[in-house]
Amino acid sequence: MNEPSDSRRRFLQRALAAGGALVLSGCDRLSRIEWFAGLLASAEKLTYASQRLLLTRRAMAQEFSEADLSPFFRSNGTSNPRDPAYQALAAAGFADYRLEVGGLVAHPRSYSLAELKALPSRTQITRHDCVEGWSAIGKWKGAPLARVLEAVRPLPSARYVVFFCADPMNARGQRYYESIDMEDAFHAQTLLAYALNDAPLPIRNGAPIRVRVERQLGYKMAKYVMRIAVVDRLDDIEGGRGGYWEDRGYEWYAGI
């Protein structure tokens, strides 16, 4: 049988990441331990097909009901970007906002907020976990990033999607940025979100557009997204490790 060894390697990497998540997460602990132990015991014998089945079972982040919503979705990190251009956009209700989408794509283009809202939308109630030790459940609505990527057509060399944000983080004017791989980028729950809890996304939570990438930790979910670039490598962007916090020691793959 011809089993692609790349897929197996990726699968095992994910399995190890899932094992690590046991330490972090109290939720569903028993079933995860059983799942992981079973995985270790059988990993050598798994065929590619059954690997895909296991992946599919674990593919969606948990979704919740309205009754689970946190009364208030707190803000963390930047709560109002200190950037004159951003402040001008906000003062005009983001009427002049354009999301630039380019890099290794066949058809680079930009989107107004109205154009993003006109795309088919997805709504999901999910739990946000910040490494600083808090969680919140919120209801997000947005355009799946997959729809935008389909429109711009990533080239075969595309490997990552990078989000460039409006907020300067320090005196040198360095801005927040983040990146995800193509699997997360095309995931059904990965959104360019413009609404939180049935209201327009507040500035403190990333208006006008913030990323939701629900199988990842909070710092991957870039707020104030101004530009998206499809790239084949991360080491020549900003600090070279794929994100503002990654450049300061956080893991790039924050998946659970």
- Report the partner that residue 9 touches, choosing among Mo ion, ligand MTE, none (CB closer than 5 to 8 A by kind): none
Pairing of strands 191-196, 175-181: unpaired
The entry of Mo ion, ligand MTE, none that residue 75 binds, CB within 5 to 8 Å by partner kind = ligand MTE
Closest CB to ligand MTE among 78 and 179?
78
Does 130 engage in binding with Mo ion (CB under 5 A)? yes
Site string for Mo ion, 205-244 (x = CB under 5 A): -------------xx-------------------------
Number of Cβ atoms within 10 Å of the Cβ of 103? 19
Q: How far is the CB of 195 from Mo ion (least distance, A)?
A: 21
For residue 134, the minimal CB distance to Mo ion (Å) is 8
Across the beta sheet with 109-112, what order do the strands follow? 109-112, 98-103, 225-231, 160-168, 175-181
Query: What is the smallest separation between the CB atom of 36 and ligand MTE, expressed in angstroms?
Result: 26
Q: Which is nearer to ligand MTE, 14 or 210 (CB)?
A: 210
Q: Which listed option, ligand MTE, Mo ion, none, makes contact with residue 223 (CB within 5 to 8 Å by class)?
A: ligand MTE
Cα of first residue to Cα of last residue in the chain, in angstroms, is 30
Q: Which option in Mo ion, ligand MTE, none does residue 167 bind, with CB closer than 5 to 8 A by kind?
A: ligand MTE
Q: Answer yes or no: are the C-beta atoms of 209 and 227 closer than 8 Å.
A: no
Q: How far apart are CA 183 and CA 177, in angstroms?
A: 19
Q: Is the peptide bond before 208 cis (omega within 30 degrees of 0)?
A: yes
Residue 193 main-chain phi, psi, to 5 deg: -85, 135
C-beta of residue 223 within 8 angstroms of C-beta of residue 203: no
> Which residues lie near ligand MTE (CB under 6 A)?
74-78, 130, 165, 167, 176, 205-206, 218-219, 221-224
Residues near Mo ion, by CB under 5 A: 130, 218-219
